[in-house]
A and B are shown apart, each in its own frame.
Chain A
Amino acid sequence: MLFNSLTFIVFFAVVLALHNAPLPWKVKKINLLVASCLFYAAWNPPFVILLWISTIVDWRVAKRIYAEQRLSRRRAWVAVSVLVNLGLLGYFKYGEFLLENWQLMMSAIGVAWTPPDWDIVLPVGISFYTFQTMAYSLDVYLRRAKPADSLLDFSLFVSFFPQLVAGPIVRPTQLIPQFQEPVRANANQLLWGLGLMTLGLFEKIVIADGALAPAADAVFGAAKPVPFFDAWLGTLAFAGQIFSDFAGYSTVAIGVALCLGFSLPDNFRFPYAAIGFSDFWRRWHISLSTWLRDYLYIPLGGNRKGWHRTQVNLMVTMLLGGLWHGAAWTFVVWGGLHGFYLGAERFFQRQFAGAKIASTFGFKVFLALLTYFLVNLTWVFFRAPDFATAWRMTRTMLGFGLEGSDLVLSAYLIEVVISVTVGILLVHGFMRNRRLEDVVASAPWWLVGCVWAAMLFFILIAQGSGDAFIYFQF
């Protein structure tokens, strides 16, 4: 079920009504659990079974880990959790990819081998909930958290519908305690929740799908090479689209949870105002980057084992982070580029630490624009359907255009992309060190009301296409 659908509006109205009804807290939690299962089953009913496999395995594993004192046994149980969750992910998400690459490797050494037909449907959200349940078992193993007392609370933690299919990836210590006592949104929380839902849907329906997707699709779907200007406009359009789409989803998720009285963590903090890549990853898909930091980068040694090992740890983390996004080498390259950027940033920070120019406003603006420029180059690999397209686009964007290129973007699309992109950069720049709550609180109420009304109005007349959110494919 998509947030941007009539089905969700009716579903949420019913869930909200039941949550605010005079029912015992346990009944309300059961309602939320049933609603979450229905939310997930609305895509493909049989896949609820996978959700339950992940839930039951980690429920039992965490209990065993907690009760077990012997390190070898604790490790064995955590290995069970990792194997089951990564096994599910590996089969459904990477099975075809692994077979294709095996076939390529065999063919490279002269062995002709045809893989079986492997037509597996990717269950929506599997990358998110498997990481969430693994984090639970890992936190218990690392003695960062105790197992949940109640299977109901744990099941709800895994399947909580606002964040089930595309995050934010929530830690057990962030959400499970919220289920222990009855919660209901007060008037202010309900208002904020509805406001965030409006903002998120505006980002998705109006900005991502309506304004930017047509240009991105035209450029990345072009049959022939495109010229420099179109290549850049298409990439800028995608940069804005993926932010508005994904941040829009997270904002709706946070808003929905808030309407029910629950708090989910921020997932984006105006990333296109980032100065450098460490800063970028503290602002983009925060729940994933912190997950990778806590469960991959730090266990690998983080920055505690010397300069060279730090670079390796960064690169491994980002390569796997790229692969998490999709079963294709283009995603690995995307991750690898970010790993390279992070490593290069550390190098330059070491070389130029303390330089006076680094603290000037002009230099910070330059760095922010440079970061934005380099991030856009990575988006080419993220969006392109294959390496050939990605390589062709990158060459064109760096000024090594190919012969026989055709314009693809109309003047209308060019003006829309430029206007929206400038708008996004200005908003991110303004909000870089501010919180939305503070900005709204300091604005006149009538202005906030007008902006809210405008967003609602544009959502309704944009009509939407019912397109899935981009991160649903991960």
Chain B
Amino acid sequence: MAVVALLLAAAGLGAWEAYWRVAQQYEASYRNSDGQWAEVRRRVDAREPNATVFIGSSRTLFDIDLDVWKEETGVHGIQLALEGSNPLPVLSDIANDQDFRGLLVVGITPPLLFLPGMGVRAGVLEYYHDETPSQRIATQLSYPLETTFAYYNIDTKLFTVLARQPWWPSRPNLPFQQPEVRKIEHMRRDRQADLWERVETDPEFQAIVTGTWRTILENLPPPPPEEVARAQFQALLDQVAADVAKIRAHGGEVVFIRPPSSDVFREAERKITPRERVWQPIVDAAGAVGVHFEDDPALSDVRTPEWSHISAKDKARWTRALIGILQKRMAERGVHRPEIKS
């Protein structure tokens, strides 16, 4: 009986795996788990004094090519950007880390700075600090499964798949509920992430992704009253300034980047978080080098198939251009860092 059960379960799993690989073009990929983030975060320590750490949202996660970065600067970057999340709590966390003395590259996606909490990956910092020995071992045990099974993906969990089926009726008068963001990345062990090829090659899937962005952008919560918003933003600027000062006091440096967006996304961001009211004050408050994609055609002349992330084919060129511009801007300000050979 047990053998029958095992064989049937294995057959079912095989069919499930085949469905995701063949019909849905999924490939096995690292899951971008909290455990994987914690593993990369632990690299920020005294053993890598000249580390280059990237924090930000999914744009920083997908747009930076770690291999190109290493080729150009000699440094294997530490990728800590988190999809759908505000990077400023991570900035504070690194500012409080006495071991960090390298270069911190902070990617800014302006609307995400105003999330009520940290965002999609809100639990990651607590996980990192409280990770148990058992959880650490489980992360290591999970890796071979993640790189073998295409179905073993957050996007393909049974109840996630069930919830997004079109046959569920809509409930009248239900307030807006944040839509699920589909899998759009393929990730490596060091958290190098590429925009999934299917987003570019499958128009139907691309439409699902852009539809999700449009729904989110059309249903943003109303801003708080002007005086509240001003006070909150000032508090944000003060925190950024304090964190950057802490990092400099430890011997590190911080630069800010604004990765590209296009079409509906770019228009929405221009309207709700204009450059001169969000990006510029942050860079000024930090007294840091800031590189905005609109500053140079080399940074804006890229394909963003779903309006928000650079095509995997363009990220190498974009990363090289970014490094060159960062080196130049840092040299102009007299900021010389071995991490980026400026």
Contacts and interface: CB of A to CB of B under 8 A. Distances in A.
B41 to A, nearest CB: 18
Contacts of A407: 171, 173-175
Nearest to B174: A407
A411 B168 contact: yes
Contact of A460 (B13, B163, B169): B13
B1 A210 contact: no
B138 interface: yes
A12 interface: no
B171 A461 contact: no
A452 B174 contact: no
B175 to A, nearest CB: 5
A10 B137 CA distance: 10
Interface of A, helix, strand, loop or mixed by DSSP: helix
Q: Which of B1, B163, B175 has the most CB of A within 10 A?
A: B1
Nearest to A214: B159
A191 interface: yes
Interface string B130-150: 001111011001100100000
B141 A6 contact: yes
Q: Which of B132, B162, B163 has the most CB of A within 10 A?
A: B132
B47 interface: no
Interface string B68-86: 0000000000000000000
Given A191-B2, A448-B1, A452-B5, A43 B174 contact: no
Contact of B138 (A7, A44, A195, A211): A7
Given A407-B174, A466-B138, A461 B16 contact: yes
B9 interface: yes
A452 B1 CA distance: 9
Contacts of A448: 1
Q: Which of A5, A194, A461 has the most CB of B within 10 A?
A: A461
Contact of A462 (B8, B157, B163, B174): B157
A411 B169 contact: yes
Contacts of A44: 132
A463 B168 contact: no
A409 interface: yes
Given A410-B168, A412-B163, A461-B16, A453 B9 contact: yes
Interface string A220-233: 00000000000000
A469 to B, nearest CB: 14
Contact of A463 (B137, B152, B170): B152
Q: Chain A interface residue count: which class? A: 35 or more
A86 B2 CA distance: 45
A25 B283 CA distance: 69
Interface string B200-241: 000000000000000000000000000000000000000000
Contacts of B168: 410-412, 415
Contact of A461 (B7, B132, B151): B151
Contact of A458 (B137, B158, B174): B158
A407 B170 CA distance: 12
B8 A449 contact: yes
Contacts of B324: none
A406 interface: yes
Interface residues of B, number: 37
B322 to A, nearest CB: 36
A180 to B, nearest CB: 30
A210 B5 contact: no
Q: Which of A1, A6, A458 has the most CB of B within 10 A?
A: A6
Interface in A44-68: 44-45
B23 interface: no
Interface string B1-33: 110111111001100100000000000000000
Nearest to A449: B4
A30 interface: no
A10 B141 contact: yes
A194 B158 contact: no
A195 B2 CA distance: 8
Contacts of A195: 2
Contacts of B170: 411
A335 to B, nearest CB: 30
A348 interface: no
A445 interface: yes
Interface in A30-87: 41-45
A111 interface: no
A41 B157 CA distance: 30
Interface in A1-32: 1-2, 5-8, 10
A194 B13 CA distance: 19
A227 B126 CA distance: 33
Contact of B134 (A43, A206, A411, A460): A43
A446 interface: yes
Contacts of B8: 449-450, 453-454, 457
B323 to A, nearest CB: 38
Contacts of A194: 2
Contacts of B152: 463
Interface string A182-222: 00000000010011000000000010001100100000000
Nearest to B2: A191
Given A42-B132, A453-B6, A456-B5, A210 B171 contact: no
A320 interface: no
B169 A210 contact: no
A414 interface: yes
Interface string B158-196: 110011000011110111010000000000000000000
Contacts of B4: 445-446, 449-450, 453
A100 B7 CA distance: 56
A415 B157 CA distance: 18
B1 A449 contact: yes
B170 to A, nearest CB: 7
Nearest to A191: B2
Q: Which of A10, A194, A449 has the most CB of B within 10 A?
A: A449
A448 B2 CA distance: 9
Contacts of A462: 157-159
A44 B130 CA distance: 10
Contacts of A457: 8-9, 12-13, 16
Contacts of B177: 410
Closest 10 CB pairs of A and B: A453-B8, A42-B134, A452-B5, A449-B4, A456-B9, A6-B141, A457-B12, A1-B134, A453-B5, A412-B168
Given A43-B134, A448-B1, 11 more contacts: A6-B141, A42-B134, A409-B174, A414-B171, A449-B1, A449-B4, A452-B1, A453-B8, A454-B9, A457-B13, A460-B9
22 contacts: A2-B134, A7-B141, A41-B133, A194-B2, A210-B158, A407-B171, A407-B174, A409-B174, A411-B168, A411-B169, A414-B171, A416-B162, A445-B1, A448-B1, A449-B4, A452-B1, A452-B9, A454-B9, A454-B12, A456-B9, A462-B158, A463-B157
